Amino acid sequence: MSDMSGSLFGLGLRKPHYGDFLDGEAVVPVDFVEVISENFMVAGGRPRDVLRRVRERHPVALHGVSMSVGSADGIDRDYLARLRLLVDDVDPLFVSDHLCWTRIEGFSAHDLLPLPYTEEALDVVCTNIAIAQDVLGRTLLIENPSSYVVFDAPMTEWEFLEAMCARTGCGLLLDVNNIYVSATNHGFDAHAYLAGIPAGRVAQIHLAGHSQGRSLLIDTHDRPVPPPVWALYEAAIARFGPVATMIERDDDIPPLAELLDELQIARDMMRTRGRKAA
């Protein structure tokens, strides 16, 4: 992947922190911000103005939630055209979306629905990614999902991701919290998952917190990164080296200073890994 995916540390840009990023002379000490693409895909208006102003201070990563690369109906060309306009406007650091499907026969579920890891699903995903990369003129990063059901399928998730990258040339946005959540829910070895991921394809890492549901962990992004996820992040950077890292917080959002303190933990862990590797 590009050398942009080095030791960069960022936060998700959310409404409660717009003022922190835009007001005053001080620049928030992050290397980039990430935004939800769909929130800014309407030309004009305050959201696009906010994004342009933030872009003057920080590189921006675009992270989508409704490209639906797993849709058997094919990829939505109108969606891609609107995303291309945003890409051209922002010149993003990364463009990413999820390994999932969200749409069928024109209906959007507004949820990241799971795929069976079969050859047929792989064909669909790879065709859609190839079209998206061609329209956008960019290499996509695809994020591993959190999962709550298991299909009887011939491939593991990491085998599917490796095959997807090999066929399309796409990169990976590795969500370490999602690995932990899915491994706990389904009883697989999170470290075996990391070992199966093609190291050269990982350009970005997500960190987040989760919640305990009735019987499963739920990827809620509503609390700090917990110790087991930090431990898995340490293992991830030992395998993948310097990778752009971002903390996601989408609910119960704390003051910006608390998120910056969390991000400093990631910086310190990456720095320590660098010293050990030297």
- The pLDDT score that the predictor gives to residue 239 is 96
Query: Whole-angstrom Cα distance, residue 156 to residue 117?
Result: 7
Query: Whole-angstrom Cα distance, residue 156 to residue 159?
Result: 5
Query: Longest Cα pair distance anywhere in the chain, in angstroms?
Result: 55
Q: Helix, strand or coil for residue 96?
A: strand
Which CATH number does 3-277 carry?
3.20.20.150
Q: Please state the domain extents for the chain.
A: 3-277
Start-to-end CA span in the chain (Å): 22
- The pLDDT score that the predictor gives to residue 150 is 87
Running DSSP on this structure, what letter comes out for residue 69? T
Query: Beta partners for 165?
Result: none
Tell me the pTM.
Answer: 0.94
Per-residue pLDDT of the chain (278 residues; tens, 9 = 90+): 434 446 899 999 999 999 999 987 778 999 999 999 999 998 777 889 999 999 999 999 999 999 999 999 999 999 999 999 999 999 999 999 999 988 766 656 567 888 999 999 999 999 999 999 999 999 999 999 999 998 989 999 999 999 999 999 999 999 999 999 999 999 999 999 999 999 999 999 999 999 998 899 999 999 999 999 999 999 999 999 999 999 999 999 999 999 999 999 999 999 998 777 65
With 0-12 / 13-18 / 19 or more C-beta atoms within 10 angstroms meaning exposed / middle / buried, residue 29 is: exposed
Phi, psi of 189 (to 5 degrees): -85, 115
Query: Whole-angstrom Cα distance, residue 50 to residue 41?
Result: 13
Short-list 64, 58, 65, 63, CA closest to 10: 58
- The pLDDT score that the predictor gives to residue 113 is 80
Check: CB of residue 201 under 8 Å from CB of residue 169.
no
Beta strands in the chain, from DSSP E residues, in sequence order? 9-12, 32-36, 60-63, 95-98, 101-104, 107-113, 141-143, 171-175, 202-207, 211-212, 217-218, 244-247
